[in-house]
Amino acid sequence: METPTTASKLPASLSLIAGLLSLVLLLVFLFSTAGNGALIASSVLGVIGLVLAIAALRKRQAKALAVTGLALSAAALLTAAAILVFALIFIGALTGSPM
C-alpha cells in the first residue's frame, strides 16, 4: 500500500484546519462579544472545509483527515445555521413582526 504524499494530503489537511477554525470561531461567537463577524466567518470556513473534504474524498486522498474535516465542518456549519435560524425566529417574535 502506498502512503499519500504531502501534496496529496493538502486538500484533506486544509479541510481539517478549516473545520477546526470554524468550530473555534463558533465558540468565540458563543462565549464572547465578538459579534456577527465570528458567526459569518465560521460559516464561510465551514463551507470551505466541506468543499475541500469532498474534493479530497473524491480523489481518494488521506481519507481519515478528509472525513474528520468533513465532520467538523458540517457540525460547525449546522450549528451556525441553527443559531442563525433561532435568532431570526425569536427576534421576529420579540419585535412583533408577522411571519
**What is the arithmetic mean of pLDDT over 50-77?**
92
Q: What is the mean pLDDT of the chain?
A: 85
Statement: residue 7 has pLDDT above 80? no
Euclidean distance between CA atoms 13 and 84, whole angstroms: 28
CA-nearest of 51, 52, 28, 55 to 40 is: 28
Q: Is the pLDDT of residue 30 over 90?
A: no
Number of domains in the chain: 1
Residue 63 inside a domain? The answer is yes
Is the pLDDT higher at 97 or at 33?
33
* 68 falls within a domain: yes
Task: Specify if 58 maps to a domain.
Answer: yes
CB 59 within 8 A of CB 31: no
CA distance 91 to 82: 14
| Other Cβ atoms closer than 10 A to 58 | 10
What is the pLDDT at residue 24? 92
Domain of 86? 9-95
3 found inside a domain: no
Residue 35 lies in a domain: yes
Does residue 82 sit within a domain? yes
Please check whether residue 4 lies inside any domain of the structure.
no
CA dihedral 80, 81, 84, 85 (to 10 degrees): -150
